[in-house]
Chains A and B, each alone.
Chain A
């Protein structure tokens, strides 16, 4: 990409601006919830704003409003209230960054370019490719060359693009809430630092989140060298202390555990949700797991003993619902059973049978079995898991030990405790909080917020993406750069170092952590790029650095930086005594939220509106209660209850969660934010007040009381079973056990009408060059929700806000239905992704009065937005209910950031028109053009991927040309398991599903 001219100090470009900012902000504060988009429009029209705008720019700059050119955008960004903090300063990064795959020379307008970068989350990098249109990142894909991704992503990465364009991000440096500048910040800290120099930095405390970046770690260590007395603390609410401590117990040192699921035939999960975003390596694990779940080849077996029902539990062949506190007992029993080889020696608990059978199943799979402990289980469980894996000889085969990815693998809870006591002890003069939001999410018993406010910490600096609860209590706030705006590096779960390339210059003149730290160490004008290059130059030994560097940027990671496996000997003498099985008191579980993690994504509309895997809840968290307990306590979904633990209280609405064990409830973290932004503030309730250093993940002795009030929850799937109330059952998800399948392979296809069953002469699709089709393997699908967000991002799908979701108007083109079957206390659960079925005999087309939806020659069910008048008849007549309607103006047509974010190849729909999955027709056309231009022939199979398919870590979605018998999709559709949903209606869906096969252990089948 071309060099863009360097620009002067960004904050000096628009000195006059800041005055009006206050009242503009006020106007925005007033707007709440979904309406705030509306208020944005009004504001953009308000005279004050127009005035401000004209002071900013030559008259007429605002006339760019509907000009869809890049220059239009850049001007507009200044004109936008959201960018009020700065003016049209955005441009390409100063430094050359290396395009991926496509030719780097210049930008072909209308042709996207792909750049490799990585998203760090709690220290773990997800390697990515980012699609960029004329310098605007628009879509996140997985880095298919990277072992940790293989093309897949997780929901957080998919949605991070919205995070970058979030107009609520902190847009300027502030001092005591007033706008300020980097230069004066640098001036301001000189003094205190000088003082500290004398004291050897005894008063300096740096609080970071988990950091795996070699460069940043190196910088911090260098800083600590300058100030030997200074301390570096690490804290994240969703930390892996248990893993670290467990490793110390087992091996006497912190090690990271990696799993090789592709070698595992029997997998036992001890409360580990390793198939969902947030679990380090989940993307790769999902791929490997799915590979090994092939009913037509080798099929592994998964046992899950868990408390909170998770998608991992949903995919298991056997799920044992246990209160989290009982898992340890199970683990011990399992260890005994496995080592002593005498199952009955295990236990007397009600899960004795389970233990026996599992142990019996594990024994023959020496070296091909695997025990995975959950991060929220205590160290002892991790130690036990290590012991069992060692005993089963899995080490080196299905389990690999390496150095920890975190550059500072301390016990974070303890680290924070120490910091707080130092603050209270008046030992802290200069506190730098880099990232995170401890005021909101620190354990309640530490009283971090109170310590920050009331202890006399001389200078408190907060560095982050948002003006959040913590920033409020700090003197200075330095606005951070989003990872898509900055240079950096981070380690993936396997240790490989990924280089973080910026896709766009900082929208709001943010400063990356690298730049902040170098400023602290006295170098205020070093750019992240300089720092990064300097470090790696130092690391790089011999060879041509430029070529090496270029390759690293191009591939997205540094070759050979993966950690080598370590061979360790487990010493299990030192296990703490088993917890005495305590009385039936209420257990409260804390879990990071499947959609907004620990709250850092709470202002991300896509994630807020992303239906959580099992509950399908949006915009809220809830108190998950098992059916048994609900029955005993007389609770109904949406009853508001008070949870009490050690004198602390929270209140939240109940959600009755099938499969949740009795005497145990689960609350999710990350909600109830006071200062998150328009989307996040006030959504849900805050669970952290109950969370203490003693019980970060679960605690017993809780109390639950009804308040008598109720609270509306927004779930996108009201009815979650295939059994109709009249006792019948519908074969939406066709399923069988491995035995049944082998015995009757075509079981899924019964009821499918023969093709000749019609009065009409069929349309001759065979003549066409292409006939598009899709197949979805439900055995592989783990309900990770990626496809939903990928689709939303690719196709400019609007979010609608909680109130509209409640009314049943969410817009997701692709949904993942979750069904429970059987015993509500421990149901089997199934996921079924449902995009548009692209029926050949589409019922929707027949009834459209204006021919706004019709069939293409290649078999696509096309939707012509600008012809649609909105009778909604097509949706009524769609048996799959995959059509979505713009009941109101759901799209935000004003905020410039979103204009930049949108996929320029996809129409932005307006009010009153129907929309639905198009099989990513824009990608089809693009590839057709490419194929004709490059080879003059057909699109090569596998080259064209739909957004959902590309992002799917399980490789459960295949799309392609069914006229080509050798295409992958044709092969899938030829499988016995292949069936058309509701095919009995003779709709002839082009999207078909492969029936779900489970591999239960006959021993446990009752």
Chain B
């Protein structure tokens, strides 16, 4: 993947359009936050997202009052939308870390212009994901029993359970992403501090910047810390979705108990993550006129990453199917049959077309460079990845070992409300982010300029 994008770099549009200086870069990005008036479009978008967020609170409130039964879950399908959405959101988060950490290690300088909001996206996506395991508990108010803390019961979590692994993986992931994102922000906060006219803004940014002054010593430690963090975040991001996949592969349910899950989950995560990055980047660069910083090059590279991961995912499906047949295990082979012909077959087929069929158009240059088309493909991929999680969670549980206890799952309007609500939560956070923080890393953009070069003698 790395060298593929490298070659791309040689051939294609630059990461940043020519003619910019340290000053203009700084002005252009910081002005979005500091000087530009807030557009009506922003208010409309924010308003809608906020309403959805309120819907989430309402749905959650009713859930606490009535109980988990307001959702469609039942026996045998003990997990429904909640877990589907959890896995979906967590997956989306992965692209951010990949861009900021892995591409950093791979010296993919083009990442600099998209890593900031990609990381923000990670944070918000993980936050959305985090709400679901909490809400889906029968007794949500006892969620903290999953953490090991000394208690009067002198009782502890059960560390053989993948759910406990989840707790650690997800909370670690969120913490590290938050730190990574924040230290990335410090120098830019300094810039905003020094440039904002508004007193309160200056004070706020000043406090956040913690007195950053760009000393060479600081930069030196800063860079090694940043690099180390990237080094830690890389295995972490791979582990998180691996652990999420353990939730299933540790179980004995046919359709869950599969060794292919970890790699295939991680690939799927990045797949959907980049789709989300594009769905955010394309409108943002249009609205704020950032085509010079988020260039076609970025769109192209992201599209290629999606192609690559898309094929890994396709390989995952293939292996699942193959093992279903090859294992000779009647339960596994039936699970395969059930996906292809069972009551949820339409969902499975649309999953295949969304994740494997349609994205192939990305082989065509036009689709990689045409923001509109790319946006559409990304939307399709996100849908496909959601369907994939639905198939894994619900359709596997729906018909397991004893034919007598087969069942069906029908989501209720509360399932949908909660799902839509988290989307609102995500967008609300995103809108606030672009409004009050530099959505592109200013200091890293500066390093991309030719005059940043220092010729050693």
Judged by CB atoms under 8 Å, the answer to whether A and B touch is yes
Q: Is the CB of B138 within 8 A of A851?
A: no
Q: Is the CB of B401 within 8 A of A880?
A: yes
What is the distance, in angstroms, from B12's C-beta to the closest C-beta of chain A? Answer: 47
What is the distance, in angstroms, from B418's C-beta to the closest C-beta of chain A? Answer: 16
A809 beta carbon closer than 8 Å to chain B: yes
What is the distance, in angstroms, from A836's C-beta to the closest C-beta of chain B? Answer: 13
Tell which of A156-164, A307-315, A907-915 binds the partner: A907-915
Which listed residue, A817, A819, A880, A887, touches B69 by the CB 8 Å rule? A887
Which listed residue, B77, B163, B401, B405, touches A847 by the CB 8 Å rule? B163
Tell which of A290-298, A327-335, A865-873 binds the partner: A865-873
Q: Which residue of B lies closest to A817 (CB)?
A: B404
CA distance A886 to B78 in the complex (A): 11
Q: Is the CB of B408 within 8 A of A887?
A: no
**Using Cβ atoms and an 8 Å threshold, which residues of chain A touch B153?**
867
Q: Is the CB of A912 within 8 A of B337?
A: no
B126 beta carbon closer than 8 Å to chain A: no
**Using Cβ atoms and an 8 Å threshold, which residues of chain A touch B137?**
869-871, 912
CA distance A911 to B153 in the complex (A): 21
Q: Is the CB of B78 within 8 A of A869?
A: no
**Using Cβ atoms and an 8 Å threshold, which residues of chain B touch A719?**
403-404, 406
**Using Cβ atoms and an 8 Å threshold, which residues of chain A touch B138?**
868-872, 885-887, 911-914
Tell which of B141-149, B212-220, B303-311 binds the partner: B141-149
A632 beta carbon closer than 8 Å to chain B: no
Q: Is the CB of B407 within 8 A of A728?
A: no
Contact string, B236-253, partner A, CB cutoff 8 A, digits 1/0? Answer: 000000000001001111
CA distance A911 to B139 in the complex (A): 8
What is the distance, in angstroms, from B375's C-beta to the closest C-beta of chain A? Answer: 37
**Using Cβ atoms and an 8 Å threshold, which residues of chain A touch B68?**
870, 887-888, 912
**Using Cβ atoms and an 8 Å threshold, which residues of chain B touch A424?**
none
Q: Is the CB of A804 within 8 A of B402?
A: no
What is the distance, in angstroms, from A123's C-beta to the closest C-beta of chain B? Answer: 37
Once A717-B404, A817-B404, A913-B139 are accepted as A-B contacts, the answer to whether A875 and B75 lie under 8 Å apart by CB is yes
- Which of B400, B404, B407 neighbours the largest number of chain A CB atoms within 10 Å of its CB? B404
Q: Is the CB of A982 within 8 A of B402?
A: yes
Interface residues of A in 875-923 (CB under 8 A from B): 875-877, 879-881, 883-889, 911-914
Q: Which residue of A lies closest to B144 (CB)?
A: A869
**Using Cβ atoms and an 8 Å threshold, which residues of chain B touch A854?**
158
B162 beta carbon closer than 8 Å to chain A: yes
Which listed residue, B74, B79, B400, touches A808 by the CB 8 Å rule? B74
A455 beta carbon closer than 8 Å to chain B: no
A726 beta carbon closer than 8 Å to chain B: yes
CA distance A847 to B247 in the complex (A): 9
B397 beta carbon closer than 8 Å to chain A: yes
A974 beta carbon closer than 8 Å to chain B: no
Once A868-B138, A871-B163, A887-B67 are accepted as A-B contacts, the answer to whether A881 and B79 lie under 8 Å apart by CB is no
A749 beta carbon closer than 8 Å to chain B: no
Q: Is the CB of B76 within 8 A of A881?
A: yes
Q: Is the CB of A847 within 8 A of B76?
A: no
Interface residues of B in 156-213 (CB under 8 A from A): 156-158, 160-164, 167
**Using Cβ atoms and an 8 Å threshold, which residues of chain B touch A887?**
67-69, 73-74, 138
Q: Is the CB of B139 within 8 A of A876?
A: no
**B side interface size, CB within 8 A:** 54
CA distance A732 to B331 in the complex (A): 13
A730 beta carbon closer than 8 Å to chain B: yes
CA distance A5 to B395 in the complex (A): 64
Q: Is the CB of A879 within 8 A of B402?
A: yes
**Using Cβ atoms and an 8 Å threshold, which residues of chain B touch A743?**
none
Once A877-B252, A888-B66 are accepted as A-B contacts, the answer to whether A732 and B164 lie under 8 Å apart by CB is no
Q: Is the CB of B67 within 8 A of A879?
A: no
CA distance A879 to B142 in the complex (A): 27
Q: Is the CB of B333 within 8 A of A726?
A: yes
Q: Is the CB of A849 within 8 A of B337?
A: no
**Using Cβ atoms and an 8 Å threshold, which residues of chain B touch A847?**
160-163, 250-251
**Using Cβ atoms and an 8 Å threshold, which residues of chain A touch B247?**
873
B297 beta carbon closer than 8 Å to chain A: no
Q: Is the CB of A875 within 8 A of B76?
A: yes
What is the distance, in angstroms, from A586's C-beta to the closest C-beta of chain B? Answer: 32
Q: Is the CB of A888 within 8 A of B67?
A: yes
Which listed residue, B155, B167, B401, touches A851 by the CB 8 Å rule? B155
Which listed residue, A818, A846, A872, A884, touches B160 by the CB 8 Å rule? A846
A721 beta carbon closer than 8 Å to chain B: yes
Contact string, B49-81, partner A, CB cutoff 8 A, digits 1/0? Answer: 000000000000000001111101111111100
B330 beta carbon closer than 8 Å to chain A: yes
CA distance A850 to B143 in the complex (A): 10
Q: Is the CB of A889 within 8 A of B251?
A: no
**Using Cβ atoms and an 8 Å threshold, which residues of chain B touch A871?**
136-138, 163
Q: Is the CB of B406 within 8 A of A718?
A: yes
**Using Cβ atoms and an 8 Å threshold, which residues of chain B touch A868?**
138-139
CA distance A864 to B253 in the complex (A): 24
CA distance A911 to B67 in the complex (A): 7
A722 beta carbon closer than 8 Å to chain B: yes
Q: Is the CB of B158 within 8 A of A851?
A: yes
**Using Cβ atoms and an 8 Å threshold, which residues of chain B touch A720?**
403-404
Which listed residue, B79, B167, B405, touches A849 by the CB 8 Å rule? B167
**Using Cβ atoms and an 8 Å threshold, which residues of chain A touch B414?**
none
CA distance A311 to B67 in the complex (A): 38
**Using Cβ atoms and an 8 Å threshold, which residues of chain B touch A933?**
none
Q: Which residue of B lies closest to A807 (CB)?
A: B74
B341 beta carbon closer than 8 Å to chain A: yes
B14 beta carbon closer than 8 Å to chain A: no
CA distance A846 to B158 in the complex (A): 8
B334 beta carbon closer than 8 Å to chain A: yes
B342 beta carbon closer than 8 Å to chain A: yes
Interface residues of A in 961-1006 (CB under 8 A from B): 981-982, 985
CA distance A832 to B403 in the complex (A): 12
Q: Is the CB of B406 within 8 A of A879?
A: no
Q: Is the CB of A725 within 8 A of B139?
A: no
Q: Is the CB of A850 within 8 A of B157?
A: yes
Interface residues of B in 230-273 (CB under 8 A from A): 247, 250-253
Q: Is the CB of A726 within 8 A of B142?
A: no
Once A851-B156, A876-B78 are accepted as A-B contacts, the answer to whether A869 and B404 lie under 8 Å apart by CB is no
Which listed residue, B75, B136, B160, B163, touches A809 by the CB 8 Å rule? B75
**Using Cβ atoms and an 8 Å threshold, which residues of chain B touch A872?**
73, 78-79, 136, 138
CA distance A817 to B250 in the complex (A): 28
Q: Is the CB of B155 within 8 A of A808?
A: no
Q: Which residue of B lies closest to A887 (CB)?
A: B69
CA distance A743 to B265 in the complex (A): 51
Once A726-B337, A881-B405 are accepted as A-B contacts, the answer to whether A850 and B158 lie under 8 Å apart by CB is yes
Q: Is the CB of A718 within 8 A of B408?
A: yes
Q: Is the CB of A885 within 8 A of B162?
A: no
Q: Which residue of B lies closest to A819 (CB)?
A: B404
What is the distance, in angstroms, from A966's C-beta to the closest C-beta of chain B? Answer: 33
Once A809-B74, A886-B138 are accepted as A-B contacts, the answer to whether A849 and B402 lie under 8 Å apart by CB is no
What is the distance, in angstroms, from A803's C-beta to the closest C-beta of chain B? Answer: 10
A848 beta carbon closer than 8 Å to chain B: yes
CA distance A846 to B136 in the complex (A): 20
Q: Is the CB of B252 within 8 A of A873?
A: no
Once A809-B75, A871-B136, A873-B78 are accepted as A-B contacts, the answer to whether A912 and B67 lie under 8 Å apart by CB is yes
A192 beta carbon closer than 8 Å to chain B: no
CA distance A721 to B79 in the complex (A): 25
CA distance A885 to B69 in the complex (A): 10
Q: Is the CB of B334 within 8 A of A880?
A: no
Q: Is the CB of A724 within 8 A of B403?
A: yes
Q: Is the CB of B139 within 8 A of A870?
A: yes
Known contacts A719-B406, A885-B78; 14 additional CB pairs below 8 A are A724-B337, A725-B337, A732-B402, A815-B404, A817-B402, A850-B145, A854-B158, A869-B143, A872-B78, A876-B251, A887-B73, A888-B66, A912-B67, A985-B252
Rank and list the top 7 A-B pairs by shortest CB-CB distance, nearest first.
A870-B138, A912-B138, A887-B69, A872-B78, A808-B74, A881-B405, A888-B69
Give 7 pairs: A residue, B residue, CB < 8 Å, sorted on A: A719-B406, A730-B401, A807-B69, A849-B164, A869-B137, A872-B78, A873-B161
